[in-house]
């Protein structure tokens, strides 16, 4: 199946700093989503972004499908941004969503 | 409120005692799936369903069963649980339309002793 790699695995930031999380995938995809898992374990959908760029407040995401990667930008980070960020992709022609192993973000005050 | 509801939130059981984790969604979604989350492994798909009476294996289906008799419900059945099925389980659903995000339940933490 498709391989999904996220980097970095862990990230510690001071409140107010910016960060970029990366998701690389091994084959063409027709579905790519970013999720945030908060410290209580809830998984929240951030973006549906198989290509192009989207922005939602302090968060934005860009997917370059031809080069098989996606980036999640977090600006002016807050302690509530802490948690694990997952990228999930669906290979073109397939039915399954495959998840990366996540980036654990810790924002310290 | 649109949501995916899983029950129970926490479950402790013993090896071999059959159990069912329920999942229900109120968004009329065609697609539903089950994932397990283990440290360092991310989320791995157990089973998924594209619509009523249609189910398929995901990456780690061994030891699990599912059924999709109604559109809103997608229960996960462990006929004979074993300690290696101790994990955090998530149910999810989405529409099959383009641009449809995946919605997750709040998770079920299962411990098998």
Rounded CA separation A51/A49 (Å): 5
Point out the residue among B50, B101, B107 whose CB comes nearest to the CB of A45: B101
Per-residue pLDDT reduced to its tens digit, B22-80:
999 999 999 999 999 998 888 999 999 999 999 999 999 999 999 999 999 999 999 99
Residue B96, pLDDT score: 79
Q: Do B102 and A96 touch (CB under 8 A)?
A: no
- Bridge-based pairing state of the strands B31-38 and B42-51: antiparallel
Q: Between the CA of residue A104 and those of A9, A35, B88, what are the distances in Å?
A: 6, 12, 17
Indicate the helix (H) or strand (E) that contains B77: strand B76-78
Q: Do B50 and A43 touch (CB under 8 A)?
A: no
Phi, psi of A63 (to 5 degrees): -120, 125
Residue B98, pLDDT score: 67
Rounded CA separation A104/A86 (Å): 9
Rounded CA separation A105/A43 (Å): 14
Burial of A93 (0-12, 13-18, 19+ CB in 10 A): exposed
Per-residue pLDDT reduced to its tens digit, A15-58:
999 999 999 999 999 899 999 999 999 999 999 999 999 999 99
Rounded to a whole number of angstroms, the distance from the CA of A43 to the nearest CA of chain B is 6
- Residues B80-103: b if buried by 16+ CB within 10 A, e if exposed: ebeeebbbebbbbbbeeeeebbbb
Q: Is B77 on the interface with A (CB under 8 A)?
A: no
Residue B40, pLDDT score: 84
Query: At B87, is the secondary structure helix, strand, or coil?
Result: strand
Show residues of chain A in contact with B104, CB under 8 Å.
35, 42-45
B2: pLDDT confidence band, cut at 50, 70 and 90? confident
> What is the end-to-end Cα distance of chain B in Å, rounded?
36
Q: Is B38 on the interface with A (CB under 8 A)?
A: no
């Amino acid at each position: 199946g498709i391989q999904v790699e996220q980097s970095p695995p862990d990230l510690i930031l001071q409140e107010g700093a910016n960060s970029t999380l990366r998701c690389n995938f091994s084959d063409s995809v027709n579905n790519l989503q970013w999720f945030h898992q908060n410290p209580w374990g809830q998984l929240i959908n951030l973006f549906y972004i198989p290509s192009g760029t989207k922005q939602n407040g302090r968060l934005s995401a860009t997917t370059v499908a031809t080069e098989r990667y996606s980036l999640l930008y977090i600006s002016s980070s807050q302690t509530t941004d802490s948690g694990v960020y997952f990228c999930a992709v669906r290979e073109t022609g397939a039915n399954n969503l495959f998840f990366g192993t996540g980036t654990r973000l810790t924002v310290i005050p | 409120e649109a949501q995916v509801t899983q029950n129970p939130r926490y479950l402790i059981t013993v090896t071999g005692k059959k159990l069912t984790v329920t999942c229900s969604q109120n968004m009329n979604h065609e697609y539903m799936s089950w994932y397990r989350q283990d440290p360092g492994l991310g989320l791995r798909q157990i089973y998924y369903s594209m619509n009523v009476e249609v189910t398929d294996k995901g990456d780690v289906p061994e030891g699990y069963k599912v059924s999709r008799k109604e559109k809103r419900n997608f229960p996960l059945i462990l006929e004979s649980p074993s300690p290696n099925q101790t994990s955090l389980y998530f149910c999810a659903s989405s529409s099959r339309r383009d641009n449809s995000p995946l919605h997750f339940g709040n998770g079920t933490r299962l411990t098998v002793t």
